[in-house]
Every structure is written in structure tokens, then in C-alpha cells.
Structure 1
Amino acid sequence: MARAIILMVDSFGIGSAPDADQFGDQGANTFLHIAQQYQQQQDSLLDLPNLSGLGLVNACAEAGKQELPVTRYQASQGAYGYAQELSTGKDTPSGHWEMAGVPVLFDWGYFTEKTNSFSPELIAKINRATGIEGMLANCHASGTDIIARLGEEHMKTGLPICYTSADSVFQVAAHEESFGLENLYKYCETVREVLEGMNIGRVIARPFVGNDASDFTRTGNRRDYAILPPAPTVLDKLDQAGGTVISVGKIADIYAHQGIKVKTKATGLDALMDATIEHINKAEDNCLIFTNLVNFDQDFGHRRDPIGYGKELEHFDSRLPEIFAAMKDDDVLFLTADHGCDPTWPGNDHTREYVPVLAYHHNIESVNLGERKTFADIGQTIADLFKLPSMDYGESFLAQIK
């Protein structure tokens, strides 16, 4: 039986979604604006031969109704399209769950105040439950910025750095050595319990190391504590049918570890790609290998670094032939994203955008999948590929790519 591989290029939007104005994101286009900044600042064009060959540039041109300043390659082998999000948010769980066939049709709970984001009552509950009297930050912040600003005070006082963003999230940064990694995990597990009933999507442990603000660095020991999806995902259905779901990166955390048999953590694009290739080489049939390439989002999108983002895309593109070479004849590769994070957009939050929907196998021709009405088309296609019961949402495009 077939195997499927999903490479989830975290935050790689390709044009404003039809409802982007409701999110203040009308005009956002992660890929287009990266390409434009790259041309202006590097005096050269983004060069993505493998992604272009799959049809990425065609998909972005159709989604954004604009031509991109990139090196031109013919779409030669791969299915390409673009999908809009049905879910009510533009956050990580919503995008991931929807692509697995379960859109989020309810409203998340949010901490909307930019400062004093957590109420005195909530802080008192957390202090009582954790036994730690106090916290630092209590605001909306960029993770790297808040560590640089408060990391030294955190190490002196032992108080965790607690912050949030426009997403439904409670984040906790702490030093791996002075605070302790296991203590950070325990603190976050307790906060997750305290937040029960508030519909907060994730509590995220954000460990870091270093001696002072000049060299603080986040580590790969991040851990997400997510609530469960509201219905069985295609991962659950494959697991229940006797198949194997392999998580690479933070996928297992996003799905609250449901339906996943094998979990591999890795830090950085190369390590994530290496782990994915190793699983492709070893995995049995009837298997889904699902990889989140988080660095596009956390290192370049949120940090508003279009040049770094562009260079990372070129490096990712250069490694795709290794994925192709490892695939068997009946394997199917899907490339997509969970939301946008336009590095030229005001602020540092996600942007409401179309995402690419690319598919590849060794015998595929160039196929235009057009506009997809929901990310759930990917989950429905995977269900179709593995002959699983249909999902409640999405339309399979398997017939178009086989």
C-alpha cells in the first residue's frame, strides 16, 4: 500500500485570503513580498527550481493575481493549487487540524490585552497551582525579544517569563539550566490544567540557554500542550485502521499526540529534513510521515526577516531532490502550509492567506488543481489514498494526481 509524506512549510502563505480584511491582512502575501524584497536587497531573483517545477510559482500567481520576481522555471511535474482556510482563526492548530480534515469552526479564547494580558485572578490561580509566586512579562511579545529583555532577570529571580500573542496561546520561557527543563514542562502542564474551560489552544514551553542577553538562544526542546481536535483527524483514522503516523518536529504536540505512533524531534531545517528522509528510507507501507518545518515561521516570519526567509526557501529547495530520491514509486508527497506570516507586514503575527497545495509522485504530470475551498481537501485526499472512511470536510483530488 502507498505511503504519504507531508512537508508543512510553516507560515508559507501565497496571497491574501478572501476574508483577509476581517483579520487586517488584506494585501498580505508572504511569498510575493519575500521575492520582491529579495530582488531589491540582494539584487537577484529567488531561485527555486524544484518548487517551481512542482508548480509553486504558478499557484502563487493564480492566488495573488500577480507575477512574482523569481527565476522562471516551467511547471513540469507535480500538481499545484492553492487553498483558503475554512477555520475561524489563522493560528497553528487551526491550520494543521483543518488540513487533517477537521476545521476549527468555533472561536478560540484569547488574551487580547497587549499589556497585563493575564488577569490578576488568573495569575493568582497559576501561582497557587504551581507554587511559584509570580511571573515576568505578562504581555504580548516576540519570543526572542522577551528573552533578550527579561532573561537575565528571570535567571536572578527564578520567575518564569509568561507571554502571549494574537494567537490563542500561553507561552512560558525559562532557562534550561537555572530553571530546569523538567521544571518548565511541569509548570506548563499545570498551567494547561488551570486554563481548562478557557478554550486556549496551546500552552508552549519555550526553553532557552545562554549566559546573558548577548547570547540567549532558544533550544529545540520546545513542547506544546494543545487541546484535542474536536473530531477524529485523518491521522486518527489511519492509526485506527492499522496504519502508522510518524511525526517529525512539533506535529505530535499540535495534535495532542493523538493518532501518532512514532515521534521524532529535531532542531533546524537540515535536521528536520534529515529525519524525514531517514523515515522515508525505513518506513513500512501504509504510513504517513508528517513534518513541520517550523523555522520558516519562528526564525524568519515572526522576526520579519524576508531575506533570511528567502535564503531558507532556496536551501529547502536544494534539498527536495533528496526527498524525491528516497520515495518509492507509489509514495505521494504533499507540500503545504498552515497560515501566512508575511515578514513585511506590520507587527509580527500570522497573516490570513491562501496556502500552496502541491503534490508529487514519480509518475505525475503537471496538473493544475486550482482553488481549493478548504485545507481539508488534503486530509480528504489522504483518506482516499489510504482507503479510509471519508472525512466530514474537504474534497479529494486524488483522481487528479494519480
Structure 2
Amino acid sequence: MARAIIVVIDSFGIGYSPDAVDFGDVGANTLANLSRAYFEETGKRIDLPNLSALGLIKACQQASNQEFPYQGQEPSKGAYGFAQEISTGKDTPSGHWEMAGVPVLFDWGYFTNKDNSFPKSLTDSINQATGFEGMLGNCHASGTEILNRLGEEHIKIGLPICYTSADSVFQIAAHEEHFGLDNLYKYCETVRELLGDLNIGRVIARPFVGDNADNFTRTGNRRDYSVLPPAPTVLDKISTAGTHVISVGKIADIFAHQGIDEKTKATGLDALFDATLNHINTAQDNSLIFTNLVNFDQDFGHRRDAVGYARELEALDLRIPELLGALSDDDVLFLTADHGCDPTWPGTEHTREYVPIIAYHNKIDSVNLGNRTTFADLGQSIAELFNVEAMDYGTSFLPELFKK
């Protein structure tokens, strides 16, 4: 029976979407713009031959109607297209839930004030419930900047660093040794409970290590505390029907551990990729392996490191043959993304973009899937593949993958 592998290249947008004007993102294009920046800084064209063969470059050109510096080839195998998000936000839960067949059609709650971001009533409740006399931060910030600014003070006085962003998040950074990982998780769980009706999508534990601002580094022990999706996702449906659903990376956290049967954590592109390969080599028939490659987003997109992003893409491309070679004849691989995060774009936030839809099995020729009007087309395809009740949103492209 079929197995499916979904690999989310976190933040890998391929051109601003029609509603990008509502988000201030007209002109954003994560792949094209980082390719130009890489060429301008290094004099080299980004080299993605394996992803190009699967149709990635062609999908980006179709989504954005533009050429850009790249090194690759025309599509020769696999199905390729580009998908538009219909969820109201450009955040991680919205993107993942929509690709699992449940778009977010309500408005998230946000902390919009750049300073003193959290209401006093909330911070008072948090302090009382946790026993701390206060918190550091209480502002909009990027994860690396706030560690450089407040990490040493945090170690000295012991207060957690709390901050937010343009996303619907409450983030807490704390030193793994001085504050303690278990204490950080407990603090986050308390905050999650106290957010109540504010409709904040995630509380994120951001542990770090290091001695001073010069060497503070976030660790792989991040944990996301998400609210539940507003309806059962395709993961819930296939898991209930007997499919073994495996999470690699932060997938389980994003789905509030619903519809997940097995979880594997890993840190870094190679470790996440290796964990995915290990599951492909060992998972039973009738399994879904769902991986998020978070480093593209957190290490390069948000940090506006176009060259680093390009090199990480080249590193991923080099490993694509391993992934394809591990597939059995009944396996179907899907590569996609959850939103954009153009490293050349002003600020440090996500960008509203189309995402790639790439699908592959061992007997497929090159197929152009074109413009998919919602990420939920992937969830609908998964529902059809595993023969469960159709989702309320999306159109399956599975028939396109198995044309005779």
C-alpha cells in the first residue's frame, strides 16, 4: 500500500501572490531574489540541478513571470506547479494547516505594539502564575537580535526573555543551563493556558546556550505550543483510518500533536534529512512521513541572509538523489513550503508568496500542475491517496501524477 513523504522547505516562497498588496509584499520572491543577491555577492549562479529537473525553477518562473540567475536544467521528471494561500495569515500554522486541508479563514490575534507589546493584565497574570517578578523584552524583536541585546542580562538576573513579532506568537527565550529547559517548557505551558481568548496561534520556547552575546546560539530544543486546528486535518483522517503518521522536526508541535503517531526531533538540515531517510527506509506500508526543514526560515530567511539561504538550498539539492533513490515504487514524494521569507525583503518577517508544489514517484514523467488555487490541494491529494473521506477544501492533483 502507498506511502507518502511530505518535505516542507520552510519559508521557500517562489513569487509574491495576488493578495501580497494586503501584506506589503508586492515584489517579494524568496527564490528569485536570493538567487540575484547570491549572484551579485559571489559572482556565481545558484546551482540546483536536481530540484531544477523536478521543475522547481520552471514553477518559480511561472509563478513570478520572470527570469533570474540560476544554474539548472529544464524539468525532466516529476510534477511541478505553484500554490496560492487562502488563509488569512502568512504564518507557520496557517500554511501547514492549509496544506493539510484546513485553511485558516479567521483572523488570528496579534500583539501589535512594538514596545510594551503584551497587555499589562496578561503580564501580571503570567508573573503571578509563574512566580517571576517580571520579564525581559516585552517587545517585537528578531530571535537573534534580542539574545544579543538581553541574553547577558537574562543570565545575570534570571528573568525570561519574552517577545513577539508580526506573527501570532508569544515567544520565550531562556538559557538551557542557567534557566533550565524544563523550567522554560513549564513557563511556556503556563503562558499558553493564560492566553485564553486572545487567539494567539503559538507559544514558542526558544532555548539557547553560550556565555555572552558573541556566542549565544539557539538550540534544537525549541518547542511550539499551538492551538488546535479549527477542524480535523487530513492527518487526523488518515491516522484514524490506520495510516501511520510520522512527524520529523516541528510538524507535531504545529498540529498540536493531533493526527501524529510517531515523532522524531532533529537539529539542522542534515539531521532532519537523515531522520527522514531513516523513516523511509524503515516505515511500514500505509505510512505518511511529514518533515519540516525549519533552518531555511529561522537561520536564513528571518536573518536576511540571502547567501546563506542559497548555500543551504544547494546543500539540499545535493541530497535530493538520496531521497529519490530511497523511494519504493509505491511511494509518492511531495516537496512544498508553508509561506515565503524573502531574505532580501525589508524587515525580518514572512512574505506572502506562492509556494512550490513538486511531486514525484518512480514512474512519473514531467507534468506541469500549473497554478493551484490553495495549499489545500495537497491535503486533498493525500486524502485521495490514502482513500479517506475528501476534505472540504482543495482539488486533488493525484490523477495528474498517474496519467497513463
Same fold (TM over 0.5): yes
* Post-superposition offset of 1:138: 0.5
Q: Give the Cα–Cα distance (whole angstroms) in 2 for the partners of residues 268 and 136 of structure 1.
A: 28
Q: Give the Cα–Cα distance (whole angstroms) in 2 for the partners of residues 133 and 259 of structure 1.
A: 38
* Post-superposition offset of 1:214: 1.1
2:357 paired with 1:357: yes
Runs of 4+ in 1 over 6 A off after TM superposition: none
* Post-superposition offset of 1:134: 0.2
Paired residue for 1:133?
133
2:178 paired with 1:178: yes
SS in 2 for 1:197: helix
* Post-superposition offset of 1:364: 0.5
Q: Give the Cα–Cα distance (whole angstroms) in 2 for the partners of residues 38 and 155 of structure 1.
A: 37
CA contact (8 A) 1:52 1:74 kept: yes
Q: Give the Cα–Cα distance (whole angstroms) in 1 for the partners of residues 74 and 123 of structure 2.
A: 56
Paired residue for 1:89?
89
Give unpaired runs (5+ residues) of structure 2: none
2:48 paired with 1:18: no
Paired residue for 2:286?
286
Paired residue for 1:377?
377
Aligned residue runs from structure 1 range 1-400, under 5 A:
1-400=1-400
Task: Decide which moves more: 82-91 or 124-133.
Answer: 124-133
* Post-superposition offset of 1:121: 1.3
Q: Which amino acid aligns with 1:348?
A: T
Q: Give the Cα–Cα distance (whole angstroms) in 1 for the partners of residues 293 and 203 of structure 2.
A: 20
* Post-superposition offset of 1:93: 0.1
Q: Give a deviation string over 1:85-114, Cα, whole Å, max 9, x none.
A: 010000000000000000000000000011
CA contact (8 A) 2:55 2:78 kept: yes
* Post-superposition offset of 1:76: 0.2
Q: Give a deviation string over 1:269-290, Cα, whole Å, max 9, x none.
A: 0000000000000000111000
Q: Which amino acid aligns with 1:227?
A: V
CA contact (8 A) 2:53 2:72 kept: no
% identity of equivalent residues: 71
* Post-superposition offset of 1:312: 0.3
CA contact (8 A) 2:16 2:28 kept: yes
Q: Give the Cα–Cα distance (whole angstroms) in 2 for the partners of residues 41 and 263 of structure 1.
A: 39
TM-score by length of 1: 0.99
Q: Which amino acid aligns with 2:262?
A: V
Q: Which amino acid aligns with 2:239?
A: D
Q: Give the Cα–Cα distance (whole angstroms) in 1 for the partners of residues 120 and 77 of structure 2.
A: 57
* Post-superposition offset of 1:72: 3.3
Q: Which amino acid aligns with 1:361?
A: H
Task: Count residues in correspondence.
Answer: 402
Q: Which amino acid aligns with 1:63?
A: A
Q: Give the Cα–Cα distance (whole angstroms) in 2 for the partners of residues 254 and 90 of structure 1.
A: 14
SS in 2 for 1:304: coil
Task: Decide which moves more: 33-42 or 95-104.
Answer: 33-42
Q: Give the Cα–Cα distance (whole angstroms) in 1 for the partners of residues 262 and 132 of structure 2.
A: 34
SS in 1 for 2:46: coil
* Post-superposition offset of 1:265: 0.3
Q: Give the Cα–Cα distance (whole angstroms) in 2 for the partners of residues 45 and 28 of structure 1.
A: 19
* Post-superposition offset of 1:71: 1.1
Q: Give the Cα–Cα distance (whole angstroms) in 2 for the partners of residues 337 and 11 of structure 1.
A: 6
Q: Which amino acid aligns with 1:38?
A: Y
CA contact (8 A) 1:155 1:175 kept: yes
Q: Give the Cα–Cα distance (whole angstroms) in 1 for the partners of residues 72 and 233 of structure 2.
A: 37
Q: Which amino acid aligns with 2:194?
A: V
Q: Give the Cα–Cα distance (whole angstroms) in 2 for the partners of residues 244 and 140 of structure 1.
A: 39
TM-score by length of 2: 0.99
Q: Which amino acid aligns with 1:315?
A: A
Task: Decide which moves more: 367-376 or 33-42.
Answer: 33-42
RMSD: 0.5
Q: Give a deviation string over 1:46-90, Cα, whole Å, max 9, x none.
A: 110110000000000000000121013020001000000010000
CA contact (8 A) 1:57 1:68 kept: no
* Post-superposition offset of 1:369: 0.2
Q: Give the Cα–Cα distance (whole angstroms) in 1 for the partners of residues 353 and 74 of structure 2.
A: 24
Q: Give the Cα–Cα distance (whole angstroms) in 1 for the partners of residues 83 and 234 of structure 2.
A: 18
* Post-superposition offset of 1:38: 1.1
CA contact (8 A) 1:80 1:367 kept: yes
SS in 1 for 2:196: coil
* Post-superposition offset of 1:4: 0.3
Q: Give the Cα–Cα distance (whole angstroms) in 2 for the partners of residues 314 and 349 of structure 1.
A: 23
* Post-superposition offset of 1:129: 1.1
